[in-house]
Amino acid sequence: NEGSLWGGRFAGGPADALAALSKSTDFDWRLARYDIAGSRAHARVLHAAGLLDEQELSGMLRALDRLEADVVSGAYVAAESDEDVHGSLERGLIERAGPGLGGKLRAGRSRNDQIATLGRMFLRDHARLIAAGLVDTVDALIGQAEAHPYAPMPGRTHLQHAQPVLLSHHLLAHAWAFVRDLQRFVDWDRRAAVSPYGSGALAGSSLGLDPNAVAADLGFDSAAWNSIDGTASRDVYAEFAWVASMTGVDLSRISEEIIFWATKEASFVTLDDAYSTGSSIMPQKKNPDVAELARGKAGRLIGDLTGLLATLKGLPLAYNRDLQEDKEPVFDAADTLELLLPAVSGMIATLRFNTERMAELAPQGFALATDIAEWLVRQGVPFREAHELSGEAVKVAESRGVELWDLSDDDYSAISPHLTPEVRTVLSTEGSLNSRSSQGGTAPEAVQAQLAELQQQLAPL
Ligand code: ARG
């Protein structure tokens, strides 16, 4: 069978059940162009080592070009009998170059170093696509922050009103998380930029081939320094899956907020029609399905990561066939994020905020109590006592069903002589926001400085 790369020592062909189990072309075919790129690079080092003459090299490269064109056009596809992408493409090469020339290419390489290299090439390309989607997501958040520089909203802890914050500050909090995800993909790429090609089955090659020439040809920074590590390690895949999971979790966090903001009860945002869905029975429904799918797919991404880690756990050196299971989780992680990011960034960019309602709610629920306590501290009152006095004011207001600014000057002075009428200067959303002006705070000028820093960190990514 030409699609198989082994067989000499076997008495007969594999059982149908084994062939079916073993076959990976259903999912590894998407590595075909990387496999062909690897074959070109490999042909060149065979030539440099004197194992292919000039004419053989050009014949080989021509056949690989034709094979690639046929793969791209769909004229060449994996046959039912092909075990994997490597075996299938060797068959295709031999069909085009003849067995005399085509049969020479496999010298000095193994599917073990090939597959480890092709996976990295695939992931490095897809990390760049994902990074572009992350940049769009950060840009959408920055766009909304810039469109609402002074709009206040209720800042929450434990989902309870805590202190007023600027909407722009809140949106940029999500942007920072995505900038770190971007930085992680960029940093990951440095570790992924090491090529296992040349590691052979596990011990390297005796044929005098230059692994660094192959590495450079395929866009890597260098070749692996340990052939066993080169063929057997998949931590770079697992790290990719982790960064993808973290990105999914960050997408899920903002999505959960948008789902809440879009409820009748919150009424903070209206979703654009293009990013909402309807109900098959309830005509009035407008559902935040993009955000819900993002929340749901975070679970899928975490599953990809944990499934891969479980596969890797306990594998002895060097290559084991278990490693064939490494591809689907990382392919799925990449596909999932590439599907998700344009939808989430589009949803964010088109959100319409009900800034009036958010501003009205911002100081409610005694969200200015900390401002009273900190005002007292500025008057020289120890914070422990200030906290108690502000708490008293909350108790009085709550018992009357009013807010802190509804209490009279007499109410305040009855709580403590420290609570003079000047306390009113901090009993407004604006006063509260403006006072938090140190780095990282929610005051408008601090948020401006934050945005400038964010954009500076984003620029090189
Ligand atoms: N299809 C295999 C994989 O995905 C390629 C390597 C197979 N190597 C082997 N010795 N059977 O891992």
307-364 residue pLDDT tens: 999 999 999 999 999 999 999 999 999 999 999 999 999 999 999 999 999 999 999 9
Does 158 qualify as catalytic in the annotation?
Answer: yes
Closest atom of ligand 1 to 111 CA is 6
Distances 107 to 88, 112, 113, 265, 450 between C-alpha atoms, Å? 17, 13, 13, 68, 56
Give pLDDT, residue 9. 85
Which of 158, 280, 408, 438 does the annotation list as catalytic? 158
pTM for the complete prediction? Answer: 0.96
Query: What are the pLDDT digits (tens) for 223-275?
Result: 999 999 999 999 999 999 999 999 999 999 999 999 999 999 999 999 999 99
| Nearest CA owner, ligand 1 atom 3 | 324
Which of 222, 276, 279, 435 does the annotation list as catalytic? 279
Closest atom of ligand 1 to 84 CA is 1
Closest atom of ligand 1 to 319 CA is 10
* CA 416–ligand 1 middle distance (angstroms): 78
Cα(132)–Cα(272) distance, integer angstroms: 23
Interface predicted TM-score (ipTM)? 0.96
Q: In a 3-state reduction of DSSP, which class is residue 331?
A: helix
Closest atom of ligand 1 to 24 CA is 1
Q: Which CATH number fits domain 16-107: 3.30.479.30, 1.10.275.10, 3.40.50.300, 3.40.640.10?
A: 1.10.275.10
End-to-end CA distance of the chain: 48
pLDDT confidence tier of residue 5, bands split at 50, 70 and 90: confident
Query: What are the pLDDT digits (tens) for 271-306?
Result: 999 999 998 888 898 999 999 999 999 999 999 999
Closest CA to 442 of 148, 169, 172, 144: 169
Q: What is the CATH number of domain 364-458?
A: 1.10.40.30
| Nearest CA owner, ligand 1 atom 7 | 111
Q: What is the CATH number of domain 112-207+221-360?
A: 1.20.200.10
Domain with CATH 1.10.40.30 in the chain: 364-458
Whether the predicted pLDDT of 387 surpasses 70: yes
* CA 169–ligand 1 middle distance (angstroms): 50
Site to probe by mutation for ligand 1, drawn from 324, 327, 328 as the one with most ligand atoms within 8 Å of Cβ, is: 324
User: Which of left, alpha, beta for 440 (phi over 0: left; psi -120 to 50: alpha)?
Assistant: left
* CA 112–ligand 1 middle distance (angstroms): 6
Distances 412 to 60, 301, 393, 421 between C-alpha atoms, Å? 90, 54, 7, 8
| Nearest CA owner, ligand 1 atom 11 | 321
Amino acid (one-letter) located at 145: A
Distances 286 to 19, 153, 250, 282, 299 between C-alpha atoms, Å? 49, 24, 24, 9, 24
Query: What are the pLDDT digits (tens) for 67-99?
Result: 999 999 999 999 999 999 999 999 999 999 999
| Nearest CA owner, ligand 1 atom 5 | 111
Domain with CATH 1.20.200.10 in the chain: 112-207+221-360
The count of other CB atoms within 10 Å of the CB of residue 436 is: 20
Ligand 1 pocket residues where CB is under 6 Å: 24, 28, 84, 111-112, 115, 319, 321, 323-324
Whether the predicted pLDDT of 379 surpasses 90: yes
* CA 111–ligand 1 middle distance (angstroms): 6
Domain with CATH 1.10.275.10 in the chain: 16-107
* CA 362–ligand 1 middle distance (angstroms): 59
Q: In a 3-state reduction of DSSP, which class is residue 223?
A: strand
Whole-number average pLDDT of the chain: 97
pLDDT confidence tier of residue 2, bands split at 50, 70 and 90: low
Give pLDDT, residue 395. 97
Does 174 qualify as catalytic in the annotation?
Answer: no
Residue 242's Cβ-side half-sphere holds a number of Cα atoms within 13 Å equal to 9
* CA 192–ligand 1 middle distance (angstroms): 20
pLDDT confidence tier of residue 1, bands split at 50, 70 and 90: low
The residue with tokens 């654009």 is 272
Residue 405's Cβ-side half-sphere holds a number of Cα atoms within 13 Å equal to 14
pLDDT confidence tier of residue 8, bands split at 50, 70 and 90: confident
Give pLDDT, residue 71. 98
Give pLDDT, residue 279. 87
Give pLDDT, residue 38. 98
Question: What is the mean pLDDT of the segment spanning 183-188?
Answer: 98
Report percent pLDDT > 70 for the chain: 99
pLDDT confidence tier of residue 3, bands split at 50, 70 and 90: low
| Whether 418 contacts 381, CB under 8 Å | yes
| Nearest CA owner, ligand 1 atom 12 | 324
Closest atom of ligand 1 to 85 CA is 1
